[in-house]
C-alpha cells in the first residue's frame, strides 16, 4: 500500500515536471537535480553548488523528494528514468548507481575526468561506484560517515558525563541521562535510521574484521554468529533510552532535540552536523562529536554521488558544468563545511573546517591507510539495495519495534531475508 502510494506520488511528480527531451535555448542552461536534501543544513549546503553554477550562467531546477536515506527519492528517480525523462543528475548512494550504469542509463564524462585528473584524487574505494568499466558516470561530492554520536555539551556537563569509549560505557552514560530526567537518546523510528544506527552497533560489538565478514562478504556463519546475536542484544538495550514519541520521527527533528537540550545525544551520520551549524551551534562549545563508542579508528562511509544520466545532446553542456563545479576543490570545501561531511577529493585542505570536520578528514585518511574504511550496509555501500534498503532495514526495524522477539530470531530472519534478496 505504502509502495503503491509512493509510486503514484512519483508518477505525479514526473507529470508535473513534464521535462521534455526537445531542444530549446532555455533547456541548454538548466541543471535539473533530484535529491533528498530538504532539511535546513542540507538545503544550505546545496546552495553552495547552486550559487556556483548561477555565477557560470546556469539555472537550477530542484526535484526534491523528502525522506532521509533517499528511499522515496529512488522511487521517483526510477519513474523518471523509466518515463524517458531523466534528470541531469541525481543524488544517489552506492549500489543504486551501479544498477543504472548496468542498464546503460548513465552518461560518460571520462574526457573531463581525464583532463582534471579525478582518478588521482578520489579514493579508490569510491571509484568502484563512480566508474563503470573505467568510464566515469557519477561524481562524488563528499564522504559522510555514519559512526558518530552528537552530544549536547551543557547537558553532558550537567549529568557529569564523559566520552564513552565502548558500548558498556555508552549504556552507562545513557543511564546517567535517564536518571537526571533527560531523554537519553534522540531517535527517529524509521527503518533507515534504525539500520544506520545498527551499522555502528555491529562495528562496536564485533570490530572491523567482523563487520567486513558479515556485511561485505555476507559470510553466513558470521551473520548467524554469537557476535551478531550480541549486536542485536546491544541494539535492544538502546530501546530503553528513546522517548515514547520516537516512531516515525524525521532524523533532523531528532537532531533538533539535541540542539535544544531536550535529549542528550543522537547516533547519526555527520549530516547531523549540518543542522547544528545552521542553528549557529559550535563544536566544542555547544555540542560534542565523538565516534560511536568502540568504533574509533574505523569509518563506516556513505558518499553522496551525483549519477549523471544520459541526457539529450542539448542538456550535456549543463551536465558537464555541474560535474566540473562539483569536483572543483572550492565547491568540495565550501559545500562540505556546511554539510557536515568531508571532501571526496583527498587534496582539499582542512583549513576551512571546524574541529569535527578536521577529525572527519583525518579519520578518513587514517582508515583508508589501515583498511578500516568500510561501506555502510544501511546506506547501500556494502550491498545492493535489495539487501541494504530491503532485507537489512526490514529485519532491523522489525527487531527494534518488537515484531521479531529476540536476537536468535533476528539472526535467523536476517539470513533468510538476505538469501531471498540475493
Ligand atoms: C545522505 C545524506 C543525507 C542523509 C539524510 C543520507 O543518505 O547520504 O546526504 O543528509 O541521508 O537525508
Q: Tally the C-alpha atoms within 13 A of residue 84's C-alpha that lie toward its C-beta.
A: 4
> What digits encode the pLDDT tens for the residues 104-117?
999 999 999 999 99
Segment 371-391 shows an average pLDDT of 98
Cα(80)–Cα(105) distance, rounded to whole angstroms? 12
**0.75 cut: is pTM over it?**
yes
273 lines ligand 1 (CB under 6 A): no
Residue 346: the pLDDT is 97
Out of 26-30, 99-103, 150-154, which region has the weakest mean confidence (pLDDT)?
A: 26-30
SS3 375: strand
Query: Are the beta carbons of 271 and 193 closer than 8 angstroms?
Result: no
Query: What is the tens place of the pLDDT at every residue in 207-225?
Result: 999 999 999 999 999 999 9
Interatomic CA distance for residues 394 and 200, integer angstroms: 17
Phi, psi of 9 (to 5 degrees): -60, -40
For the cut 90, the answer to whether the pLDDT of residue 380 exceeds it is yes
Q: What is the pLDDT of residue 211?
A: 98
Of 70, 90, 188, 344, which is best to mutate to test ligand 1, by the most ligand atoms within 8 angstroms of its C-beta? 70
pLDDT at 33: 98
Counting Cβ atoms within 10 Å, is residue 286 exposed (0-12), middle (13-18) or buried (19+)? Answer: middle
pLDDT exceeds cutoff 50 at 252: yes
Judge whether residue 125 has pLDDT over 90: yes
Helix (H, G, I), strand (E, B) or coil at 308: strand
Distance 38 CA to ligand 1 centre (A): 10
- What's the number of CA atoms in the CB half-sphere (13 Å) around residue 142? 27
Q: Is 42 in the pocket of ligand 1 (CB under 6 A)?
A: yes
Chain mean pLDDT for the chain: 94
Name the residue among 68, 82, 59, 69 with its Cα closest to residue 13. Answer: 82
> Does ligand 1 have an atom closer than 6 angstroms to the CB of 70?
yes
Q: What is the residue-wise DSSP string for 250-304?
A: -HHHHHHHHHHTSEEEEE--TTHHHHHHHTT--BTTTEEEEEPTT-TT-EEEE--
Q: Which of 35, 37, 49 for a ligand 1 pocket mutation test, highest count of atoms within 8 Å of Cβ?
A: 37
Q: Give 326-364 pLDDT, tens digit per residue.
A: 999 999 999 999 999 999 999 999 999 999 999 999 999
For residue 238, how far is its CA from the centre of ligand 1 (angstroms)? 22
The rounded distance, in Å, linking the Cα atoms of 16 and 75 is 16
- Residue 9, classified by CB atoms within 10 Å of its CB into exposed (0-12), middle (13-18) or buried (19+), is middle
Nearest CA to ligand 1 atom 7: 69
Q: pLDDT band at 145, cuts 50/70/90?
A: very high
* Mean pLDDT, range 200-210, rounded to an integer: 98
Q: Which atom of ligand 1 is nearest to the CA of 38?
A: 12
At residue 27, the pLDDT reads 54
Residue 224 CA, ligand 1 centroid: distance in Å: 29
Could you read off the pLDDT of 46-92 as tens digits, one per residue? 999 999 999 999 999 999 999 988 999 999 999 999 999 999 999 99
Angstrom distances, CA of residue 345 to CA of 143, 280, 329: 9, 27, 7
Q: Which atom of ligand 1 lies closest to the CA of 67?
A: 12
Determine the pLDDT at residue 111.
Answer: 98
Q: Is the CB of 123 under 6 A from ligand 1?
A: no
CB of 71 sitting under 6 A from ligand 1:
no
Among 44, 197, 271, the mutation site with the greatest number of ligand 1 atoms within 8 A of its Cβ is 271
Residue 143 C-alpha cell reads as 564522504
* CA atoms within 13 A of residue 420's CA, in its CB half-sphere: 11
- pLDDT tens per residue, range 9-31: 343 343 333 333 344 455 589 99
Q: Tell me the CA–centroid distance for residue 271 and ligand 1, in Å.
A: 6
Instruction: Provide the H-helix boundaries in 289-354.
Output: 316-326, 329-339
Amino acid at each position: 500500500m505504502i509502495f503503491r502510494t509512493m509510486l503514484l506520488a512519483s508518477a505525479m511528480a514526473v507529470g508535473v515536471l513534464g521535462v521534455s527531451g526537445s531542444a530549446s535555448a532555455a533547456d541548454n542552461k538548466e541543471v535539473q537535480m533530484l535529491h533528498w536534501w530538504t532539511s535546513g543544513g542540507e538545503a544550505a549546503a546545496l546552495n553552495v553548488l547552486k550559487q556556483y553554477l548561477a555565477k557560470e550562467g546556469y539555472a537550477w531546477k530542484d526535484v526534491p523528494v523528502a525522506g532521509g536515506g533517499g528511499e522515496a527519492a529512488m522511487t521517483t528517480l526510477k519513474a523518471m528514468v523509466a518515463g524517458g525523462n531523466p534528470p541531469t543528475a541525481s543524488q544517489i548512494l552506492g549500489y543504486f548507481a551501479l544498477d543504472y550504469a548496468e542498464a546503460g542509463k548513465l552518461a560518460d564524462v571520462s574526457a573531463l575526468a581525464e583532463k582534471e585528473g579525478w582518478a588521482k584524487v578520489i579514493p579508490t574505494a569510491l571509484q568502484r561506484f563512480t566508474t563503470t568499466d573505467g568510464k566515469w558516470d557519477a561524481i562524488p561530492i563528499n564522504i559522510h560517515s555514519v559512526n558518530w554520536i552528537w552530544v549536547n555539551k551543557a547537558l553532558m556537563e550537567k549529568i557529569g558525563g564523559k566520552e564513552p569509549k565502548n558500548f558498556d560505557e555508552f549504556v552507562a552514560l545513557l543511564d546517567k541521562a535517564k536518571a537526571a530526567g533527560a531523554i537519553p537518546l534522540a531517535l527517529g523510528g524509521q527503518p533507515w535510521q534504525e539500520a544506520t544506527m545498527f551499522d555502528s552497533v555491529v562495528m562496536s560489538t564485533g570490530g572491523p574484521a567482523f563487520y567486513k565478514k558479515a556485511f561485505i562478504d555476507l559470510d553466513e556463519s558470521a551473520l548467524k554468529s554469537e557476535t551478531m546475536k550480541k549486536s542485536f542484544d546491544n541494539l535492544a538495550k538502546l530501546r530503553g533510552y528513546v522517548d515514547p514519541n520516537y516512531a516515525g520521527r524525521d532524523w533532523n527533528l531528532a537532531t533538533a532535540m539535541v540542539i535544544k537540550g531536550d535529549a542528550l545525544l543522537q547516533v547519526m551520520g555527520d549530516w547531523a552536523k549540518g543542522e547544528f551549524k545552521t542553528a549557529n551551534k559550535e563544536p566544542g562549545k555547544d555540542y560534542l562529536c565523538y565516534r560511536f563508542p568502540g568504533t574509533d579508528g574505523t569509518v563506516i562511509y556513505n558518499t553522496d554521488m551525483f549519477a549523471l544520466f544520459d541526457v539529450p545532446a542539448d542538456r550535456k553542456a549543463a551536465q558537464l558544468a555541474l560535474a566540473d563545479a562539483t569536483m572543483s576543490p572550492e565547491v568540495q570545501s565550501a559545500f562540505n563545511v556546511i554539510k557536515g561531511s568531508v571532501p571526496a577529493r583527498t587534496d582539499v585542505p582542512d583549513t576551512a573546517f571546524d574541529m569535527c570536520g578536521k577529525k572527519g578528514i583525518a579519520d578518513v585518511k587514517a582508515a583508508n591507510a589501515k583498511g578500516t574504511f568500510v561501506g555502510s550496509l544501511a546506506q547501500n555501500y556494502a550491498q545492493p539495495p535489495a539487501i541494504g534498503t530491503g532485507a537489512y532495514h526490514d529485519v532491523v526495524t522489525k527487531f527494534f519495534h518488537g515484531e521479531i522477539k529476540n536476537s536468535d530470531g533476528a539472526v535467523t530472519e536476517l539470513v533468510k531475508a538476505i538469501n531471498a534478496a540475493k
